[in-house]
Each structure stands twice: as structure tokens, then as C-alpha cells.
Amino acid sequence: MSDGGLDLLGRTAVVTGSTHGIGRAIALELATAGANVLVHGRDATAGQTVCDEIRTIGQETTFEAADFVDPQQQDDFVDRAFVWCDDIDIWINNAGHDALTGEAAATTFDEKLDKLWQVDVLAAVRISRNVGRRWQNRQPDTIRSLVNIGWDQAETGMGGDSGEMFSTIKGAVMAFTRSLAISLAPKIRVNCLAPGWIKTAWGQQASQAWQDRAAGESLLQRWGEPTDVARAAHFLVSPAAEFITGQTLPINGGQARWSGAD
């Protein structure tokens, strides 16, 4: 968790896709740093559990459900977020379609790509533009911060269905981030995190071959944890990063060339 003190005290954050994994870790990290946090997801039970954890930390919170496949639910979610707090400082677009676990893992490449495009790209673009317009119409005493989530191998490439699929999706998010930063400057900072191999639900059940590959592709020779991404998110939205915008920060332990068998 945070070792940066209460550098976000008095700030309010929205973290989409924050009921599990990386999003949950980010929500708790920001709360530990002093922020009030809106939790989002589709699982209300898990969402309320994260809210309970945030209240235990001592911060205000609420849960809002929304399925980002639906553009109307995207718009309604943003409206409800600003009803909860009309002075949001931090917005993190972490929500994404899980194409690798559960029932979705058995769907076709085309079906996975379509859902990823709707949730990871179109929803992030529409929501970011909506939030950006609201922020630009205000006269803030602090620069607000928006963070998207990319993927480290979108820039280097990875073979196979998953590589082709996620590089297409997350490469679009990373490119959009750079352009949005230009559109919203100087009032709003826009950056992107590009996680590498992070042990979320898929990583916990991956085969030994993938376990070896994930460690082997990191110079630090280990999987990343959701808290590694959360600490980087905390940095990017904190005063310590006030001169950083339009950037993509890899969170991968240093990328190494994999020499094992595929």
C-alpha cells in the first residue's frame, strides 16, 4: 500500500472496474493516500466489499454498477459519478472485458475482439471525452488527472491470438491517451499505465509454462502484482507527477527477451 502519506487528502477519485484485481488495488491505494473513491463494476456484492474496505481505511465511498457495453449506461454512470461528487479530481479508466477466464474464454476470437473493442476502447474514449468536457468547463485550483490502462507488449508485439487481440485494443487506448492529453492540456493531465504480466485471475490459474514465461520476460524475474500497478497509478495522479502528461508508463519489471519455448 501507499507509503506517500496522505498526499491525496481531500481529493475524490473514480476507478472503473474496481471490484477485483488491478482496479480494486488502485481504489484501495488511492483511499490509503487520502482520497474518497467511487467504486465501479458489475458485481454489486464485490463492489460493496471494496467499499467496506475503503470505509475501514477512513475514506468516503460509494458503489455504482454499469455495463460499459451499453453507451447509455456509460453516460448514466458519468452523470451519477458527478452527482455523488461534483468536484472529482481523479478518473481512472480501468474497466475492461475479461476475455481469458470464465465463459468468455470459450468464445471465438471475433467475439472476444468485439467485446474488448466495446468496453476497453469505445467506452474509455466516450467516458474520457465526457469527463474531459466537464472538467474543462470548470476553473480548478488543481490540475485534474485522468489515467487509462494499456499493455506493455502493444508496442513490442506478441504472437498468437491473445497478442494480436490485446495489442490491437490496448494500442488504440495508448494512442488515444496521447491525443487526449493534447486536447485537454493544460488544465488536465492524461497518462496511461501499461502493465506487463500481472497476476490477476488469469495469472493465478495459468499453466506452468505461462508461469515460467511471465517471470522470464521480466528483468526482475517475477510476476507483477496488482499493487505494483496501483502504486504507479498513485504516482501518476499525485502532485509528484504534476509535470507529466501524454505518457505511457510500463509496469513490467523491465522487459526481457523471452528465450523459452512457446
Domain ranges of the chain: 12-250
* Percentage of the chain exceeding pLDDT 90: 73
**How confident is the model at residue 261, as a pLDDT?**
43
**How confident is the model at residue 3, as a pLDDT?**
53
DSSP strand pairing (36-41 vs 248-251): unpaired
**How confident is the model at residue 8, as a pLDDT?**
97
Distance (Å, whole) CA 67 – CA 201: 20
Q: At what angle do helices 71-84 and 123-136 cross, to 10 degrees?
A: 40
**How confident is the model at residue 143, as a pLDDT?**
83
Supply the mean pLDDT for the chain: 91
pLDDT band at 142 (very low <50, low <70, confident <90, very high): confident
CATH number of 12-250: 3.40.50.720
Distance (Å, whole) CA 26 – CA 29: 5
Phi and psi at 251, nearest 5°, equal -120, 80
pLDDT band at 257 (very low <50, low <70, confident <90, very high): low
**How confident is the model at residue 106, as a pLDDT?**
85
Question: In this predicted model, which residue has the larger pLDDT, 59 or 100?
Answer: 59
Cell numbers of 50, please? 471494496
Residue 2, pLDDT > 60, answer: no
pTM check: above 0.85? yes
pLDDT single digits (tens) 176-209: 999 999 999 999 999 999 998 888 877 777 788 8
Residue 34, pLDDT > 90, answer: yes
Distance (Å, whole) CA 189 – CA 246: 7
Half-sphere exposure of 58 (CA within 13 A, CB side): 6
Virtual CA dihedral for 83, 59, 37, 51, nearest 10 degrees?
-100
**How confident is the model at residue 77, as a pLDDT?**
98
CA-wise closest residue to 132 among 116, 150, 151, 145: 145
